[in-house]
Structure 1
Amino acid sequence: MNQDVTPAKVLQGTLKLPADKSISHRSAMFASLHEGTSTINNFSTAADPHSTLDCMRRLGVAIRELGDNTIEVEGVGRDGLETPSDDLDCGNSGTTMRLLSGIIAGSGVPARLTGDESLSARTMKRIIDPLSEMGANIDARKDDYAPLAISRNGPIAPLHFPLPIASAQLKSCVLLAGLFGDEETEVIETLPSRDHTERLLNLPIQKENGKKIITSSRSDEIPEQSYRIPNDFSAAAFWLVAGAIHPEAEITLPKVGMNPTRTGALDILKKMGASVTVSNTGSEGAEPVADLSVSSSALQPITITEDIVPNCIDEIPILAVAMLFADGVSRISGAEELRHKETDRLTAMADMLTKAGADFTEYEDGLEIHGDPQFSPQPSTFSSYDDHRIAMSAAVLGLMAENTCRVTEAECTAISYPTFWEDLRTLTN
């Protein structure tokens, strides 16, 4: 499906954003491992978290969808998972595959995890290595790629694991496997990454010499997961940028998740001079939330370095769009991880910028973008590369063009934001 994007004279309105995908995945998994019933409100309607629900059901967990995006999970505890009769299909979801691999390895329940063509092209070496050290047997295609057949002969072994990169998925995978061990597994984090796993599981944390040490073992009680999932900050980022770069904009986004390990893009936009207001702060379960409002802004250039990247990795494509309209040269470095997402996002972004007529340079680990507040993108057909974040970034860019632009394979936005195109029309009508 292709989508045409017409230049917007005004962007105005209030949007109910989709639920946070990262928390939706975890809430379903952790509720399944809890001994008792959890009721989770505002569960994501996106495809990826529903891959997680399907996998947990195949493992013998009763999950009921009650309507109004509410699910009820009958947790079976650590020892109640059943051997699935068929493959666990993770769809397009790297979060499902990586986190579930930790649970499967820890539980000792033999299972084979598969995914779609895109997911099967992403290396799983980062989780295979530590899980193998913990005693898991993992048979992978070409040693690194899904399908992953996971089993275990002896008990799960404890692991002292300094994170080689800032990765919430890798961290969570190891900690989830550690939940099944009699001795403590330690994950040592030097650069911050998303902390939803340790928050929702209430895992022990120590901070020493700038390092964060998170532990997990069988002695950690898995709490009930009954709460409302916050609205997705990553979805909010597209409208924060759209509102900041458009000359006639006023957009309000209620009840957005404000976890400090997720809101790096907000800090970046504020440093660029974006007019963003944060109000009605509160919490949903273990997660902070707030209402966000954005209006037309005069943006300044910014430098995003390796230490900042982990907290804005998903938002870098749309931040690159913001940089196009800043008054000067912006630089992104230390972001080579983007080459291993749903697509090579640096290459996809470079293609989008080229078609828009931007002045930029692509590097192995990032981009240098020469911005101009008066920049007018050339009307183009932008390839989404079947990547939801590239598709939505191209759509926001198209709103600023002189004539209609087109985004190809635009249905991929459903992976994280099923109502994206409807919400775009809401703001422009």
Structure 2
Amino acid sequence: MNKEVRPARALNGKIKLPPDKSISHRSVMFAALHEGRSVIRNFSSAADPHSTINCMRGLGVTVYEDGNTVEVEGVGRDGLQSPEGDLDCGNSGTTMRLLSGIIAGAGIPARLVGDESLSARTMKRIIDPLTEMGAEITARKDDFAPLEISRPGPLKPLYFPLPIPSAQLKSCVLLAGLFGDEQTEVIETLPSRDHTERLLNLTIEEKGEEKHIYSSREDNIPEQSYRIPNDFSAAAFWLVAGAIHPNAEITLPNVGMNPTRFGALDILEQMGADITVNNEHDEGAEPVADLRVASSALQPVEITEEIVPNCIDEIPILMIAMLFSDGVSRISGAEELRHKETDRLAAMAEMLGKAGVDFTEYEDGLEIKGDPDFVPESASYQSYHDHRIAMSAAVLSMLGNKSSQIQGAECTAISYPSFWGDLSLLTN
């Protein structure tokens, strides 16, 4: 599907954002490992978390769906069953990587498959530590899915300093460790999303600049009954849109405010974005608040390697904010973006080139010359079937001189099924 996006005269209104995908994935997995029923409200309707639901059903877990409420009959660590067929992870790297940890820990044979995009993303980072823990994993050449996982011997504890700040890698190892009689220890030096630690209430020790996280069979897996906050990553598109548009005021209720997730908010505030935070409260283990953004005069910013893990998903849309800042912005240490659903650095570079932006691409980021009066050229933007690229192109196009086309626009449903409807609501 191609989508035409016209220049927007104004952006005004209140948007109910989609539920948080990262928490939705984890809520179902962890509820399955809990012994007893969990009721999860405001569950994501996006495609990826429903891949997780289908995989858990394949492992013998009963999951009921009623609108955006999901009930899970948890079977406990020892109640998972070997699936009769493949576990299809769809486009979801979170599903494949976290589920691999659970399957290796449980010691049940299973085969994990994904779509063409997911099958082009290396799984080496999880294969290596899970193999050290005793799993046998057969993968396609160069460690790509499908993954055939078994564990013929006992589960071994692992002392694992994270080689990169990755919540998926961290979670994979910790989830495998939940099945071990001895503690697995993951050491984190640069922060990454901490939903797994929060939702499982795992033991954490701060040792200098390091965070040590532990998991074993001794950990009691809590009931997962709560309301999932709305997705901060989805909010970021409207925060940028509202800040760069000259006639905008957008309100976003009940947004997840996990401190390991809102790096983009700090960056936008550093740039001078007019953002207010109200009604701060907790939903289960997660902080939540209402956000409001209005038209802003933006200054350039530098995003460095230390900051990248807390805004990795938002970097494409932050690049759009940089275009309208008064000076040169720089992103470095973001080479991980080349290994997402598509090479997001290359995809964004292509988009900026078509829009007429003055920029330089590096292996680990971009340098962008901003202009508060910048008007993007009309273009046809390729999404590369990447939801965040498609939505970034849409926000850019709203500031253009003429209508632009977004190719493969249906991919926004991966994380934000109502995106095009919300865009229409704000512009009408």
**Corresponding residue for residue 344 of structure 1:** 343
Tell whether 2:7 aligns with 1:4: no
SS in 2 for 1:117: coil
Which residue number in structure 1 is paired with residue 31 of structure 2? 31
2:425 aligned with 1:415: no
> Residue 92 of structure 1: CA displacement?
0.2
Instruction: Show structure 1 runs of 4+ deviating over 6 A.
Output: none
Match of 1:163?
A: 162
TM normalised by structure 1 equals 1.00
Please give the alpha-carbon distance, in whole angstroms, between the structure 1 residues aligned to 2:166 and 2:141: 23
2:196 aligns with 197
CA distance in 2, matches of 1:172, 1:143: 22
Q: Is 1:222 paired with 2:192? A: no
Shift of 1:111: 0.2
Partners in 2 of 1:124 and 1:53 — Cα distance? 21
- Map 1:275-354; keep pairs closer than 5 Å: 275-354=274-353
Task: Report the counterpart of residue 367 of structure 1 in structure 2.
Answer: 366
Q: Quick one: distance in 1 between partners of 2:242 and 2:155? A: 50
Secondary structure in 2 matching 1:149: strand
User: Within 1, Cα distance between the matches of 2:78 and 2:354?
Assistant: 54
Q: Is the contact between residue 327 and residue 371 of structure 2 (CA under 8 Å) also seen in structure 1? A: yes
Task: Kindly provide the CA deviation profile for residues 335-391 of structure 1, in whole angstroms up to 9, marking residues without a partner as x.
Answer: 000000000000000000000000000000000000000000000001101100000
CA–CA distance in structure 2, aligned partners of residues 143 and 264 of structure 1: 33
Cα drift, residue 277 of structure 1: 0.3
Q: How does 1:169-188 map to 2 (within 5 A)?
A: 169-188=168-187
Match of 1:93 in 2: 92
In the superposition, the TM-score normalised over structure 2's length comes to 1.00
Residue 216 of structure 1 deviates from its aligned partner by 0.1
State the secondary structure of the residue aligned to 2:171.
helix
- Give the number of equivalent residue pairs: 428
Alignment-derived partner of residue 124 in structure 2? 125
1:115 matched to 2:114: yes
Distance across 2 between alignment mates of 1:408 and 1:333: 28
Q: Note the alpha carbon deviations across 1:107-140, whole angstroms, 9 max, x for none.
A: 0010000000000000000000000000000000
CA offsets, 1:93-119, max 9 Å, x none?
A: 000000000000000010000000000
- How many Å separate the matches in 1 of 2:379 and 2:13? 27
Secondary structure (helix, strand or coil) at the match of 1:394 reads: helix
One-letter code aligned to 2:306: D
2:243: which partner in 1?
244
Secondary structure of 1:281's aligned partner:
strand
Q: Distance in 2 between matches of 1:60 and 1:41?
A: 22
Query: Where does residue 380 of structure 1 map in the other structure?
Result: 379
CA distance in 1, matches of 2:129, 2:177: 11
| Aligned equivalent of 2:48 | 48
Contact 2:251 2:290 survives alignment (8 Å) = yes
Cα distance in 2 for partners of 1:296, 1:155 equals 58
Amino acid at match of 2:15: L
Which residue matches 1:234?
233
1:60 corresponds to: 60
Find the aligned partners of 1:367 and 1:46 in 2 and give their Cα distance: 30
Q: CA shift at 1:154, angstroms?
A: 1.4
One-letter code aligned to 2:47:
A
Aligned equivalents of 2:385, 2:53: Cα separation in 1: 23
* 1:395 maps to 2:394: yes
Instruction: Using the TM superposition, give the Cα deviation of residue 209 of structure 1 relative to its aligned residue in structure 2, in angstroms.
Output: 1.1
Is there any run of 5+ residues in structure 2 with no aligned partner, and where?
none
The SS at the match of 2:44 is coil
Q: Which runs of 5+ in 1 are unaligned?
A: none
- 3-state DSSP of counterpart to 1:214: strand
Q: Structure 1 counterpart of 2:366, which letter? A: L
Quote the residue 2:70 is aligned against.
71
| Aligned equivalents of 1:340, 1:209: Cα separation in 2 | 31
Three-state SS of the structure 1 residue aligned to 2:56 is: helix
Cα distance in 1 between the residues matched to 2:370 and 2:8: 20
Per-residue deviation, 1:427: 0.1
Give, in whole Å, the separation in 2 of the partners of 1:383 and 1:66.
35
Q: Distance in 1 between matches of 2:124 and 2:380?
A: 36
Distance in 1, Cα, partners of 2:187 & 2:281: 30
The CA distance in 2 between the partners of 1:335 and 1:210, in whole Å, is 21
Distance 2:117 2:242 in 1: 32
Deviation at 1:143, TM superposition (A): 4.4
Rounded to whole Å, the distance in 1 between the matches of 2:304 and 2:164 is 14
2:109, 2:282 → 1: CA distance?
Answer: 38
| 1-structure distance, mates of 2:187, 2:6 | 48
Q: Residue 122 of structure 2 contacts residue 142 of structure 2 at CA under 8 Å; is this kept in 1?
A: no
Structure 1 range deviating more: 390-399 or 58-67? 58-67
CA distance, structure 2, for counterparts of residue 405 and residue 140 of structure 1: 41
CA distance in structure 1 between the aligned counterparts of 2:382 and 2:264, rounded to whole angstroms: 24
The code of the aligned residue for 1:334 comes to G
Q: Distance in 2 between matches of 1:140 and 1:9?
A: 51
Percent identity between matched residues is 76
Residues 235-267 of structure 1 show CA distances to partners (whole Å, capped at 9, x for unaligned) of: 000000000000000000000000000000000
